[in-house]
Amino acid sequence: MHPQEILTQLARFRGITYRDVSLPPLGKNLAISRDAVTLNTHFSTNVPLKQPLVSANMLDVTESKMAIAQSLEGGIGIIHRFCPPDRQAQEAGTTKRAHNFLVEDPYSLQGSSTIGEARNMMALYKIGSLLVKNPDGKLAGLLTQRDVRFVDDRELVKTHMTPRRPGKEKRGDLVVVTREETLSINQIVEKLKQHKIKKLPVVDSDNFIVGLISAKDIERLKQYPLANLDQRGNLVVGATIGAIGDFIERAQELKKKNVDVIVMDVTSANSVSVENAIHEFRQKLGDYELVVGNIGTAEQAHALMQESVQGLKIGIGPGGPCTTRLSTGIGVPQLYAILEIYWKLIFKYHYKPEQIPPLCADGNIGAGCDIVHALLAGASSIMIGTLFAGTEETPGESYEKPDGRYKRYAGMASIEAAIERFTAMGFDDPIVEALKKAPEGIPREVKVGGSVKTTIRTLLGGVRSGISHRGILSLNDFKKQNPFDPETGFHILSAASRDESYKR
């Protein structure tokens, strides 16, 4: 289609969102099974995904437990910033360490430490074992939760660890492998089985610690073939910063944990403060992977692209607990926002498709149909809050009501979230600070369901089926289809058609 025709067609979609349209089937369904449809995409320029789902950087949605689950399923979790910088970095570090064939720089302590100190470290870092070092840094032994059971806190680690005695091993001594040995996963599994052990330290020829292999992590490698891993074999994870206050400190702490992408997240990224924050970020952290949001127009996207960002997050007020549009009267229907940003960047601002950073659609996802529509419109990934909020992996305690268990779920611009944010920033009276700002989010409660893995797989099943109904077998090919084609693109529905399609 001619560029002017595209822009004319785009104007028809003003005021239109996901459930105002449907897509017709195309061609012949080529999929013998919907599992044959591949969903590879990107969250940001240098952060690929095996599938497009992203857990929202919300107080009641994403900490390490959720981020781990998302990455194991091929997506990514973005850890919220409503806690002190060191704790946020700790959550990110926990995620990076949770699934790795070889854990580099494993947690350790000295043999002269107490059992109480060891217990505290295990609880803090959510781990079941610690390597024990000599004062010179060489491996002395291994201490597990089983070793400290029923042991007094005042006793010393060296009296309860499994010892390492290089060159004069005895039965019951610690089994290790050296970095110089080239063992396959199957050979390592055999070694673990032979010695009936679950942890296998890796040392160099001088007995200095190189890493730690865990039977649990090897089992996970087989259970999660789509796990989204970085080049070192660690789970991929992102985390959020703001644009004022401690945002540089947070970013620097997150960088120390090798976080794959940092998201600068504010209600509206169309501001001088965000522009200044990006400049300071670049001065302090160089070209570190940065996604910025939220935005709602192509003009905003074009402006941010001048700042060399690696991704953009779209959504002004579409989320379930978000009241930005109600409070301010400002917002853009989500489907139209994605369409305008992607297609105007090409046909008005004259970018080539490969020059546009990946777009993340944030908010108003209620089912697989919404994801399919967002992806065809131009999004590369889909951020989800509400659908994940009631799962077992979300932070916070559940509570009982007569009809079941519930969890709290607050919008990020709510009073509750603002109090958490100002507390994390060290304000003397965070409640007073939070009340100075008009809230643009509300708390709600969500019923607790099962694991987020079930939710992810159900949603992706719908997405794969939707793509297969369009006669293709990959998300990449699906995104090449023209959403504006009168015959094969989006059909805008009448009120009766909307009810027929989506009212159940």
- Supply the residues annotated as catalytic: 322
- Rounded CA-CA distance 376/476 in Å is 10
The conformation of residue 235, written as its DSSP 8-state character, comes to: B
Q: Write the DSSP string, 76-107.
A: EEEE--SS-HHHHHHHHHHHHHSS-SSEES--
DSSP reduced 3-state for 424 = helix
Q: Which one, of 312, 425, 308, 305, lies nearest residue 378 by Cα?
A: 312
CB contact at 8 A, 467 and 372: yes
16 beta partners: none
Six token digits for residue 170: 């005895």
**Stretch (H or E) spanning 346:** helix 334-347
Is residue 433 within 8 Å of 483, Cβ to Cβ? Answer: no
Angstrom distance (rounded) from CA 330 to CA 350: 27
Distance from C-alpha of 347 to C-alpha of 344, rounded to nearest angstrom: 5
If we measure between CA atoms, which residue out of 260, 356, 392, 374 comes closest to residue 318?
Answer: 374
3-state secondary structure 265-322: ECCCCCCHHHHHHHHHHHHHHCCCCEEEEEECCHHHHHHHHCCCCCEEEECCCCCCCE
Neighbours of 432 (CB within 10 A): 11
Asked if residue 238 lies in contact with residue 262, where contact means CB atoms within 8 angstroms, the answer is: yes
Q: Name the strands in the sheet holding 209-214, side by side, starting at the edge strand that comes first in the sequence.
A: 103-104, 209-214, 199-203, 177-178
**In this structure, are strands 311-314 and 290-295 parallel, antiparallel, or unpaired?**
parallel
Q: Which residue has the tokens 């084609």?
A: 485
Residues 6 or more apart whose CB falls under 8 angstroms from that of 250 comprise 81, 85, 88, 89, 239, 241, 242
Residue with tokens 């959403």: 483
The residues near 27 (Cβ < 8 Å, ≥ 6 apart) are 470, 471, 472
Residue 256 structure tokens: 């120390």
